[in-house]
DNA sequence: ATCCAGGATAGCG
DNA sequence: CGCTATCATGGA
């Protein structure tokens, strides 16, 4: 519908730093799974709105005239230099940032984020992507963009009225029941994703963990990627590996709890942002994928 | 063929 | 508290 850089709405506050966002890295760094590469950018939906994102438009000087929804989604307003300065000054952190300085933590719609990470459990990024695109195709709202047919993520109510078999047919496996239960919790109002915005982090984590299939890791992902709680530090297999090998090299075993305690004190107020650099770097260099 | 993936959880000691 | 088996599915 609206391409980058065509918005006419006034922006009273110019972007503090020019947008130095690496679009492809950001959209393929395991925080969002539905963007489709095109000849000159990426096509997908921001919530219900189809958008064609282009690196070239992010790089042009007038980038602060990019549509407000896009700016918000991509975190273009994040004070990235300031954030980077809060990171611990160690060689591993440094090389992770140097590996991909344009990586950003984006801001996703809460339901979409919760649902996709529910389906992410014990799955590779490519699998999560396949599942997400299937769910969108079958149960999302179809929209058109530059001759392409895209789909928004299915709403809680759309999923709540499905059968288990519908979801199993999307390769969800043991995650199907969890997604169905989550959709019904949101649909019934028992889980209020809007209200989470105003709750303290600890309480929001507890609320999210009441959803079957959501534990510490996924809850932290949702708070980080949807609610912009930059101190939240999800620990998946890759980050756990990075932490063990880097900060506890002599120890045979290190518990998840120990790593959480360490991360909370070591990485600073933007620990979650640091975590995303570590994850991206580790997965792409140590994972040979 | 075997191992592993942006995990969570029940059951056990 | 910590440890373990188990849960589907597909790519490497």
H-state helical runs in A189-252: 201-209, 216-225, 237-247
Footprint of strand C on the protein (CB under 7 A): A 122-124, 126-127, 130, 168, 171-174, 253, 255, 257-258, 288-289
Tokens 């107020």 correspond to: A269
- pLDDT over 90 (residue A259): yes
H-state helical runs in chain A: 23-27, 55-59, 68-74, 80-86, 91-99, 110-118, 125-139, 156-160, 164-168, 176-188, 201-209, 216-225, 237-247, 256-266, 271-286
Residue A47 confidence class, pLDDT cut points 50, 70, 90: very high
Q: What is the mean pLDDT of residues A35-42?
A: 96
DSSP state of A222: H
> How high is the pLDDT of residue A1?
39
Q: Which two tokens stand for residue A162?
A: 């499905």
Between CA A28 and CA A34 the distance in angstroms is 9
As a rounded value in angstroms, the CA-to-C1' distance for A118 and B6 is: 11
Q: Which residue(s) pair with A192 in the sheet?
A: none
pLDDT in tens, A160-181: 999 999 999 999 999 999 999 9
Between CA A33 and CA A24 the distance in angstroms is 12
Distance of CA A226 to the CA centre of its chain: 7
Nucleotides of C under 7 A from a protein CB: 1-3, 7-12
pLDDT in tens, A81-108: 999 999 999 999 999 999 999 999 999 9
Between CA A131 and CA A202 the distance in angstroms is 30
As a rounded value in angstroms, the CA-to-C1' distance for A254 and C2 is: 11
Distance of CA A268 to the CA centre of its chain: 20
Between CA A188 and CA A130 the distance in angstroms is 28
- pLDDT over 60 (residue A121): yes
Order across the sheet with A42-46: list the strands. Answer: A36-37, A42-46, A49-53
The answer to whether the beta carbons of residues A282 and A105 sit under 8 Å apart is no
In degrees and rounded to multiples of 5, residue A44 shows phi and psi of 180, -175
Residue A10 confidence class, pLDDT cut points 50, 70, 90: very low
> Quick one: A288 exposed, middle or buried, by C-beta within 10 A (0-12, 13-18, 19+)?
exposed
- Closest nucleotide to A241's CA, by C1' atom? B6
Percent with pLDDT over 70 in chain A: 91
Q: Which two tokens stand for residue A266?
A: 């070591």
Residue A222 confidence class, pLDDT cut points 50, 70, 90: very high
Footprint of strand B on the protein (CB under 7 A): A 29-31, 117, 120-128, 174, 209, 212-219, 221, 234-239, 275-276, 279, 283, 287
The answer to whether the beta carbons of residues A223 and A201 sit under 8 Å apart is yes
> How high is the pLDDT of residue A287?
77
Element (H, E) at A234: none
Between CA A264 and CA A124 the distance in angstroms is 26
- Closest nucleotide to A168's CA, by C1' atom? C8
**Any residues with CB less than 8 A from the CB of A258 and at least 6 apart, and which?**
none
Distance of CA A138 to the CA centre of its chain: 22
Percent with pLDDT over 90 in chain A: 88
- pLDDT over 80 (residue A65): no
Q: Looking at the C1' of nucleotide C2, which residue has the nearest alpha carbon? A: A255
> How high is the pLDDT of residue A63?
57
């Amino acid at each position: 519908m609206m391409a980058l850089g065509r918005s006419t709405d006034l922006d009273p506050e110019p972007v503090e730093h020019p947008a130095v966002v690496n679009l492809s890295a950001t959209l393929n760094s395991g925080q969002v799974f539905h963007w489709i590469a095109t000849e000159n950018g990426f096509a997908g939906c921001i919530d219900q709105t189809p958008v064609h994102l282009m690196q070239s438009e992010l790089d042009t000087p007038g980038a602060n005239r990019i549509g407000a929804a896009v700016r918000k989604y991509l975190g273009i307003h994040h004070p990235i230099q300031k954030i980077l300065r809060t990171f611990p000054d160690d060689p591993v952190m440094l090389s992770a940032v140097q590996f991909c300085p344009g990586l950003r933590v984006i801001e996703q719609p809460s339901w979409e984020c919760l649902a996709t990470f529910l389906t992410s459990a014990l799955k590779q990024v490519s699998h999560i992507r396949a599942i997400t695109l299937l769910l969108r195709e079958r149960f999302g709202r179809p929209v058109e963009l530059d001759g392409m047919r895209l789909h928004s993520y299915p709403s809680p109510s759309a999923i709540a009225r499905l059968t288990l078999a519908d979801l199993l047919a999307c390769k969800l496996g043991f995650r199907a029941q969890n997604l169905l239960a989550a959709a019904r919790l949101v649909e019934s109002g028992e889980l209020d994703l809007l209200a989470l915005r105003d709750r303290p982090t600890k309480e929001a984590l507890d609320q999210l963990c009441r959803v079957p299939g959501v534990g510490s890791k996924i809850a932290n992902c949702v708070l980080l990627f949807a609610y912009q709680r930059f101190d939240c530090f999800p620990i998946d297999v890759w980050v756990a590996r990075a932490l063990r090998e880097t900060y506890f090299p002599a120890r045979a075993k290190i518990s998840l709890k120990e790593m959480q305690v360490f991360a909370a004190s070591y990485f600073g107020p933007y620990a979650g942002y640091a975590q995303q650099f570590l994850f991206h770097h580790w997965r792409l260099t140590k994972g040979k994928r």
